């Protein structure tokens, strides 16, 4: 996610980021399987949208920055209480009930 945020709003189409598997591997040292796992998790919580575009098809990413910021603020708020198990449960419930549909 940090690498996507780095490239966010730096392209011709500011809503979408294009990165190849090889580029991500060079920039993050994540293998394709690790990339796929991270993408799957970010999609599951509603932060990331992925689309295949062009010929040959290439991965394009869109970040729901507003939702990411809301999640981070909520997590910080819950961490201030400092009950780790309770924080994790409350945060999971927050994400589950507030997650936007993308």
Which two three-digit tokens encode residue 20? 């190849």
Pick the closest to residue 49 from 14, 7, 13, 17 (CA basis). 17
Strand-by-strand arrangement of the 17-18 sheet = 17-18, 58-63, 48-53
CATH of 2-63, one of 3.30.420, 1.10.10, 2.60.40, 2.40.50: 1.10.10
pTM equals: 0.76
6-37 pLDDT, tens per residue? 888 776 666 888 888 999 999 999 999 999 99
Which residues, in sequence order, are CB contacts of 83 under 8 Å at separation 6+? none
Residue 26, pLDDT score? 94
Which two three-digit tokens encode residue 12? 């011709």
35-92 pLDDT, tens per residue? 999 999 999 999 999 998 888 888 999 999 889 999 888 888 877 766 666 777 787 7
Residue 62, pLDDT score? 92
* Range list for CATH 1.10.10 in the chain: 2-63
Residue 18, pLDDT score? 87
């Amino acid at each position: 996610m940090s690498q996507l945020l780095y490239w966010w709003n730096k392209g011709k189409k500011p809503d979408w980021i294009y990165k190849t598997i090889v580029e991500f591997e060079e920039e993050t040292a994540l293998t394709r399987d690790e990339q796929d796992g991270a993408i799957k998790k970010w999609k599951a919580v509603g932060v990331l949208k992925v689309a295949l575009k062009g010929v040959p098809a290439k991965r394009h990413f869109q970040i729901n920055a507003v939702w990411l910021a809301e999640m981070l603020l909520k997590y910080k708020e819950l961490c201030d209480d400092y009950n780790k198990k309770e924080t994790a449960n409350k945060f999971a419930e927050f994400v589950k009930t507030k997650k936007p549909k993308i």
